[in-house]
Amino acid sequence: MSEQKKGAAAVAEAQPQRATNPKILPPYNVVLLDDNDHTYDYVILMLMRLFGRTKEDAELMAYEVDTTGRVIVDTTTKERAELKQEQIHAFGPDPDLEKCAGSMSAIIEPCPR
């Protein structure tokens, strides 16, 4: 190996390595709120379509939101939580209820650690 190549290799080896620890984004909960203006069928269908929930999981969540007033439907990054909140708000009114004026409401909140 030539002296020039040896010198370049020594310089390259002498460079300190940087830590490459990726930042972990804090999780956020998407919380569906009860409003008494939507049927169980509407809530179940919405959860299956928007969140890929099974019918059984969606039924349990529909019951929880009805009895407690809220249910966590997803825990994810803040950006995805905002998207899912927008999708809930854009899902539209319940076609089975004449008095229903629009979509259900949802909030996002930091997930407690």
Q: For each of the domains in the chain, give its residue range(s) and CATH number, in order of start.
A: 25-110 (3.30.1390.10)
C-alpha to C-alpha distance for 54 and 52, rounded to whole angstroms: 7
For 99, how many CA atoms within 13 A lie in the half-sphere containing its CB?
A: 5
The DSSP output letter for 4 is: H
Q: What are phi and psi of 73, to 5 degrees?
A: -105, -15
Q: How many residues does the chain have?
A: 113
For residue 107 the two structure tokens come to 């909030």
Cα 112 to the chain's mean position, in Å? 15
pLDDT at 86 over 70: yes
C-alpha to C-alpha distance for 56 and 36, rounded to whole angstroms: 21
Which tens digit of pLDDT belongs to each residue from 25-61? 899 999 999 998 999 999 999 999 999 999 999 999 9
How confident is residue 13, by pLDDT bands cut at 50, 70 and 90?
low
